Amino acid sequence: MKYPHPLLAREGWPFIGLAFVLSLILTLVWSWKVAIPAYIVLVFVIQFFRDPPRAIPDLANAVLSPADGRIVKIEKVRDPYADRDALLVSVFMNVFNVHSNRASVNGRVRAVHYFPGLFVNADLDKASNENERNAVIIDADVNGEHHVVTLVQVAGLIARRILCYVHPGDALEKGQRYGFIRFGSRVDVYLPLTAVVRVAPGDVVSATSTVLATL
């Protein structure tokens, strides 16, 4: 399931190609001035689907951010996917963030659960329970201790497609690309109650390179 990070996400290639062809046609048939809106769309699509490589912090017990964005919630809740009390850290992504999702910990996928739902603004609290979402439960072994980390991809107001490429039994490594969400959304991270959170609401985080917590 490793992905070589070719700078532009594979999910975006068809969209980038379509925007480029449309811009080229408008330029050739009419003029570059007529094609300006199409070029603006092309630039937006390219920046949305960028997928840069990221440095992985050298900290064995670190839980890395699975997404770029802003921390919108940190609180003790019930993890409905792994049926346990947990610490929830929510990362909200806007349309200008990188939308490639990366594994937060080394571990093995215990289960993957998909839930159809609504498409309300992902910045709202109710999005975690009402929106379309996909949960990946990971059994992580950190320094000989077993921990459970749940990553939940949540669709947003504009996002209409959650992509997840892992299955039960798959091994994951920190920073490994495991999914993608198109056009604005959030990722909820459910941690053990013993985790020490290293971020605060309002913080801007980067996938893989930001440490959300330590186990």
Domain 62-214 sits in CATH at: 2.70.70
Between CA 173 and CA 3 the distance in angstroms is 12
Residues identified as active-site: 185
Q: Is the pLDDT of residue 56 over 60?
A: yes
- When the pLDDT of each residue in the chain is averaged and rounded to a whole number, the result is 89
CB 19, CB 41: distance < 8 Å: yes
Q: What pLDDT score was predicted for residue 127?
A: 52
Q: pLDDT (tens digit, 9 = 90+) per residue, 119-135? A: 555 455 555 666 789 99
Q: Is the pLDDT of residue 117 over 80?
A: no
Calculate the alpha carbon distances from 107 to 104, 114, 177 in Å. 9, 20, 14
Q: pLDDT (tens digit, 9 = 90+) per residue, 21-43? A: 999 999 999 999 999 999 999 99
Domain ranges of the chain: 7-51, 62-214
Q: pLDDT (tens digit, 9 = 90+) per residue, 134-178? A: 999 999 988 888 999 999 999 866 555 789 999 999 999 999 999
Q: Is the pLDDT of residue 2 over 60?
A: no
The residue written with tokens 């610490």 in the block is 87
